Amino acid sequence: MRSTILAAYLAATCLQAQAQPPRLYLTTEARSAYGGQAPRPPAGAATDTVRAVMARAGIVHSLDPLPWKRAYNTALERADACVYPTSRIPERERQFKWVGPISQIDWVLMARADRGMQLRSLDDARGLRIGTYHGDVRDQYLHARGFDVDPVTDDLANPRKLMLNRVDLWATSIQRATGTVKRLGYTGKIVPVLTFNRTSLYLACNHAVPDALVARMNEALASMERDGSRRAILEKHAQARPDEGQAGVPER
């Protein structure tokens, strides 16, 4: 009798566990409010897209805004974690399982307009000091290729350093740069001088996240593309903040 009761209890526990929806811990970069250090809640097209994917895939999730380096490393180290919006480049390909793309970005080098700088290729930037954001994809990319990078922990410092001639160039995305330059009052003073790459942005998940769950999320995103809801999210945010690009949060 005792063994029968125990077997029934274990069976019920297993069924209950199977009935629970999967859970994921999502991270993204905390945004600093203009002029201060207080983090903003995650917002924008990328976040709306990811939340819609979770809802369609039936996945319970939490979303934590963190400094980018910590957000990225959490997804590498924590078995149930994913980070977005993450550039999918060859150096990162085997580090994660990928859901997306959720957006695309163009990488640019920005310079002071009054310097009249003309670059034909990325190699023309060798020997110049390039301001980067510590740990982001462009910082990693340029450092790995031997460029003289000067990373900062707050990307708003880069256009200011550029205006003070403390760096020669600023490596960013055109989507990010457009809004930042406008907010800082540098429109016409800081301009793009070279577009040197284009990457797609993804939700990047730890290798322990089950393949079936990754496939479910990708199918949810594909269904949003088919029924137009993904496009509706992009158009809503483009109308609300046309100067910030599609991602809505810093893209890394």
Q: How would you write the pLDDT of the chain (252 residues) with one tens digit per residue?
A: 555 544 444 444 444 445 689 999 999 988 643 333 445 556 788 999 999 999 999 999 999 999 888 999 999 999 999 999 999 988 899 999 999 999 888 999 999 999 999 999 999 999 999 999 988 899 999 999 999 999 999 889 999 999 999 999 999 999 889 989 999 999 999 999 999 999 999 999 999 999 999 999 999 999 999 999 999 998 888 765 544 443 344 557
Burial classification of residue 131, based on how many CB atoms lie within 10 Å of its CB (0-12 exposed, 13-18 middle, 19 or more buried): buried
Q: What is the pLDDT of residue 240?
A: 59
pLDDT at 234: 86
So what's the pLDDT on residue 19? 62
- Tell me what pLDDT residue 103 has: 87
Both tokens assigned to 59: 């996945």
Model pTM greater than 0.85?
no
d(CA 13, CA 1): 18
Cα 14 from chain centroid (whole Å): 37
Q: Which residues have C-beta within 8 Å of that of residue 7, sequence separation ≥ 6?
A: none
Looking at residue 98, its pLDDT comes to 98
How much is the CA Rg of the chain, to the nearest whole Å? 21
Name the amino acid, one letter, at 212.
Answer: A
Q: How many Å apart are CA 252 and CA 74, to the nearest integer?
A: 14
Query: Which pair of structure tokens corresponds to residue 200?
Result: 């797609």
pLDDT of residue 18: 54
